[in-house]
A and B are shown apart, each in its own frame.
Chain A
Amino acid sequence: MSDARRQGAAEPTREDARVAPKPALRRFHQARWDEKLIFELSTPGQRGIEVPAPEPEVAAAVGDVAAALPDALRRGTPPALPELGQQQVLRHYLRLSQENLGADLNVDVGQGTCTMKYSPKVNDSFVRDPRVAEAHPLQDASTVQGLLEIMYRLEGLLREVSGMDRVSLQPAAGSSAIWTNVAMIRAYFAARGEAEQRDTVITSSFSHPSNAACAKTAGYRVITLPPDADGYPDIEALRAAAGPRTAALLITNPEDTGIYNPRIEEFVRLVHEAGGLCAYDQANANGILGITRAREAGFDLCHFNLHKTFSTPHACGGPAAGACGVTEELAPYLPRPTVEFDGERYRLEHDRPDSVGSVRPFYGVVPNLVRAYAWIMSLGAEGLREAAEVAVLNNNYLLSRIREIPGVSVPYAQSRPRVEQVRYSWERLHADTGVHSEEIGLRAADFGTHYWTSHHPYTVPEPMTLEPTESYSRADLDEYAAILAEVAREAYEDPDVVRTAPHRSTVHRAREDTLESAATWAVTWRAYRRKVLGEDGA
């Protein structure tokens, strides 16, 4: 009888009978509620709160309240919202929360490139403080001096970390910050009368795809540099690409392979010689904090993800927080307002004629700015560097454990250590067993964890990207490696178990191909009705 049975845990499932996981591995089973979409739970007329009708005298005194609304503000039809009682809503979302593997619930090192470090809960207490939680963005600056001081000081800290001259804290996330940088680049060349000539942005295959996406959104033509044999962006391709049409190089370093490009200054120099600007996507800065800076590598702009490197929550794509750093030359184009200090008072400066405007209402995602500030202050300069060093140590420790697993390889730059993450390949395991990387990730979910493969297209075949950060203990990393070793063993000995996974977690399988075209993906209820249910006019 298995341990699970003895402890009264869930019934052993089909695969337990055939492949007994090593006893060291956790016996995990996720909740599976088979919960419908909230729209499907709707019952017309149900309400969370029935508000009592006003007394007749009150109604008479007030008259027709709706009539006071200007016509333009009134809806023709009521909003198509689901109708449910309070209890049903609560139950629905609690169930969904159980069908999740949140960052605080698992050893979350598998979400490579996302820097899933721990967000210390003490920092939330500052955000819950009424002076933060109840501040209104339209309050007069004189009444929020403390918050403005935090923002001013945070800018100073990030200037120090990046070496740049000014920093904006307004962007809502990493991609929002990249967009802001692209907007500043566009404004800079417009001011110099070179906007038409400089219509091209250069990026690399292993830089985050938001770089190419933001450039395209801003109307740029994008040239991608493929990796060379060592996995670095091909510098010869850059030489061929850079020229009078080049507006900028948008590049990550280390790239999503975890390999630091030691020739980065040369890349910057080539682009500068062609008259372009260089923007450093520093969302991967977790392994180089206090070690290298964008300024010394010659960059004109950079950005950080405060929700990655500086510990604020990811919040499922937003609101997170991004920060853009620029040199003096580009400072006029920063978003407005900026926070200024005259030695006595903090104020918001809106009068910035060359600014690209606001990229987010008001001052950005202030609660995350408070958290990031608290996190940096709790560590200090040496602490930041130590965090980076531990992140690199953890990553290379995990790398050494993963290397022991049959079927895994670590493509590119063989003799060099990795910085804060590694893009692995299960190509050999796939050739031996027919099992795909995605399937291994799904099977890992049966042990209460998971991983991410890589962005598309898969330049590294059968990819897996792990980033352990400084937050995880050696025991955590050992557990994670043991899970992957176990799944790899299953793949060789009983591949069916892996191929048909997950067996003990919520979702069975998603049809990934339906997410590959705008004609089939449905991310809203309305789109679901139109594209999946085939309802006309939905």
Chain B
Amino acid sequence: MIRVGLVVNPVAGLGGRVGLQGSDGEAVQQRARELGARPRAGTRARAALSELAARGADVELLAAPGVLGARWAAGAGWPHRVVPVAPSSETGSAECADSAVLRPGSPRLGVVPPARRAPGSGVGTRAPDAGHVHDAGRPGAPRTTAADTVAAVRALRDAGVRLLLFAGGDGTARDVYDALGGDTELTVLGIPTGVKMHSAVFSVNPRAAGEVAAVYGREEGGVPTRRAEVMDRDEAALRQGRVTARLYGWLPVPFVPARLQQRKTGGTVLSPDAVGGIAREVREAAQRLPGAGSRGPLLVLGPGTTTQALAAALGAEVGPTGVSALVPGGGTAEVVARNAGGDALLDLVRAGRPALVALSPVGGQGFLLGRGNQQLGPEVIRAAGGAARVLVVCTESKLAALGGRPLLVDSGDDALDAELTGYRPVITGRGALTMYRVTI
């Protein structure tokens, strides 16, 4: 039996139903409520738990207190244990009252009654970083903030959960990321309830999250994980009229190929065979560059798990975040830059080695440039030799998961975008290309 943790951001998705761009920040939530928004995060979390129960998973469920988890677990007819969470300074989290409900045991036996009351104390104030203030969406319901999510995630981690289910959107995913850090070994999975869903840590729908959790519970140890992107819209850029998503980092999510790879957003199958083939293609392309024989080519890799695996196949270890640069050789590659910024990249590319830039679509949106990799600005691409020096790498299943949507570029330079758009060969494996549409 493994321990699964549940944390719910009760106001995630509040804005979406009433046409707002998100639900982060108290002002937006207030406006959403005025427009008649009803929260749905809890009911979606419940759907995931029902699925978990239906699949007969042998798991012990630990929930954050009250609207942060336990209330929805109770509604799913699923026994759970409530893990106390230290009240955040802003809210006082009076919801801990629910933690009296404690019913471990077989999932099929006990049913925890729904919370009897909606505690009314602890009305929150605005989080200092304009973080998201959560509430259950009902008059008199408590408000919770990002700090509560962070505290709940840490409490569940400390209670020994092996898989953390969190219900929310991109903002919540960021909170989870903040709570755990990018190096965490704790496997997480998002139950999608938010408005903004750029991150790849979510299942396609709530039931799918329950299904994956069930498989994870059944075959713990046998289920590999992969690192999936945590992304969020760049609100500052948005206010200037640009839609831009920032890449915050990666979190480990369960990878259940036979059941998940066909999903639209779950599909990042990195079969070693495919990535090894892609790596050979990229290395050969780099070595064919004019001048590569004498100087050794420079390979600039955009962020992503595909490019990370590609680097590994070339014999170099780089993280999935940030832009790195390698000089590929026979069986190894020399890493000349990790997490390089725009200026450093420009210097590297101008230093005289013939350069290639390998990019992989980031997140579920299909962005090649301009989301999560702004360091690779138009000057860097131009210094490398322009669109002709850009290679797109992606596995077949990840491409199929785009559901026919084109790949996107938004480099910030219209002329370069124009060069990059049209039909481009995407390297999907050894000797395998797909001619795919790239648009702005």
Q: Could you list which residues of chain A lie within 8 angstroms of chain B, going by C-beta atoms?
A: 205, 212, 216, 220-227, 229, 234, 236-241, 431, 433-434, 436, 438, 456-459, 461-463, 495-496, 499-500, 511-513, 516-518
Q: Given A222-B431, A434-B211, A499-B54, do A457 and B403 touch, yes or no (CB 8 Å)?
A: no
Is A236 in contact with B423, judged by CB distance below 8 angstroms? yes
Q: CA–CA, A438 to B54, complex, Å?
A: 17
Question: How many whole Å from A234's CB to the nearest CB in chain B?
Answer: 7
Interface residue from A227, A461, A518 paired with B262 (Cβ < 8 Å): A461
Q: Given A236-B423, A431-B205, do A517 and B261 touch, yes or no (CB 8 Å)?
A: no
Cβ of B432 within 8 Å of any chain A Cβ, yes or no, is yes
Is B432 in contact with A434, judged by CB distance below 8 angstroms? no
Is B432 in contact with A222, judged by CB distance below 8 angstroms? yes
Question: How many whole Å from B64's CB to the nearest CB in chain A?
Answer: 24
Question: How many whole Å from B305's CB to the nearest CB in chain A?
Answer: 17
Neighbouring B residues of A224 by C-beta, 8 Å: 396, 428, 432-435
Question: How many whole Å from B261's CB to the nearest CB in chain A?
Answer: 7
Interface residue from A212, A457, A496 paired with B261 (Cβ < 8 Å): A457
Q: In chain B between 233 and 275, which residues have their CB closer than 8 angstroms to a CB of chain A?
A: 256-259, 261-264, 267, 269, 271-273
CB nearest neighbor in A for B214: A499
Cβ of B3 within 8 Å of any chain A Cβ, yes or no, is no
Cβ of B404 within 8 Å of any chain A Cβ, yes or no, is yes
Is B273 in contact with A496, judged by CB distance below 8 angstroms? no
Q: CA–CA, A229 to B435, complex, Å?
A: 15
Question: How many whole Å from B282's CB to the nearest CB in chain A?
Answer: 14
- Identify 18 new A-B residue pairs, CB closer than 8 A, beyond the known A438-B258, A456-B396, A459-B400: A205-B400, A223-B425, A223-B433, A229-B404, A237-B437, A241-B423, A434-B205, A434-B208, A457-B269, A457-B399, A458-B261, A458-B400, A462-B262, A496-B54, A499-B55, A512-B258, A513-B258, A517-B273
Is B264 in contact with A457, judged by CB distance below 8 angstroms? no
Cβ of B160 within 8 Å of any chain A Cβ, yes or no, is no
Neighbouring A residues of B261 by C-beta, 8 Å: 456-458
A-B contact pairs, 19 of them (CB 8 A): A221-B431, A221-B432, A222-B431, A222-B432, A223-B434, A223-B435, A225-B435, A226-B434, A227-B404, A237-B435, A237-B436, A240-B422, A240-B423, A240-B424, A434-B54, A457-B397, A461-B263, A513-B256, A518-B273
Neighbouring B residues of A225 by C-beta, 8 Å: 434-435
Is B431 in contact with A516, judged by CB distance below 8 angstroms? no
Q: In chain B between 394 and 414, which residues have their CB closer than 8 angstroms to a CB of chain A?
A: 396-397, 399-401, 403-404
Q: CA–CA, A462 to B432, complex, Å?
A: 25
Question: How many whole Å from A509's CB to the nearest CB in chain B?
Answer: 10
Q: CA–CA, A100 to B435, complex, Å?
A: 41
Question: How many whole Å from A517's CB to the nearest CB in chain B?
Answer: 7
Q: Given A459-B400, A512-B258, do A234 and B437 touch, yes or no (CB 8 Å)?
A: yes
Is B51 in contact with A240, judged by CB distance below 8 angstroms? no
Is A461 in contact with B257, judged by CB distance below 8 angstroms? no
Neighbouring B residues of A222 by C-beta, 8 Å: 431-433
Say what secondary structure dominates the interface of chain B: mixed
Q: CA–CA, A496 to B57, complex, Å?
A: 13
Neighbouring A residues of B256 by C-beta, 8 Å: 513
Question: How many whole Å from B218's CB to the nearest CB in chain A?
Answer: 11
Cβ of B210 within 8 Å of any chain A Cβ, yes or no, is yes
Neighbouring B residues of A234 by C-beta, 8 Å: 435, 437
Q: CA–CA, A267 to B100, complex, Å?
A: 70
CB nearest neighbor in B for A463: B262
Q: B30-65 vs A: 1/0 string, CB under 8 Å?
A: 000000000000000000000100111000000000
Q: CA–CA, A456 to B256, complex, Å?
A: 15
Question: How many whole Å from B281's CB to the nearest CB in chain A?
Answer: 9
Is A240 in contact with B435, judged by CB distance below 8 angstroms? yes
Interface residue from B272, B397, B428 paired with A517 (Cβ < 8 Å): B272
Cβ of B207 within 8 Å of any chain A Cβ, yes or no, is yes
CB nearest neighbor in B for A516: B257
Neighbouring A residues of B51 by C-beta, 8 Å: 434
Is B54 in contact with A495, judged by CB distance below 8 angstroms? yes
CB nearest neighbor in B for A432: B207
CB nearest neighbor in A for B431: A221
Q: CA–CA, A216 to B429, complex, Å?
A: 11
Is A226 in contact with B435, judged by CB distance below 8 angstroms? yes
Question: How many whole Å from A226's CB to the nearest CB in chain B?
Answer: 6
Q: CA–CA, A459 to B403, complex, Å?
A: 7
CB nearest neighbor in A for B264: A461
Is A221 in contact with B264, judged by CB distance below 8 angstroms? no
Q: CA–CA, A22 to B267, complex, Å?
A: 38
Q: CA–CA, A495 to B261, complex, Å?
A: 21
Q: Given A240-B423, A461-B262, A462-B262, do A220 and B431 touch, yes or no (CB 8 Å)?
A: yes
Is B404 in contact with A241, judged by CB distance below 8 angstroms? no
Q: Given A226-B435, A240-B422, A495-B54, do A458 and B262 touch, yes or no (CB 8 Å)?
A: yes
Is B264 in contact with A434, judged by CB distance below 8 angstroms? no
Neighbouring A residues of B399 by C-beta, 8 Å: 226, 457
Is A226 in contact with B404, judged by CB distance below 8 angstroms? yes
Question: How many whole Å from B405's CB to the nearest CB in chain A?
Answer: 10
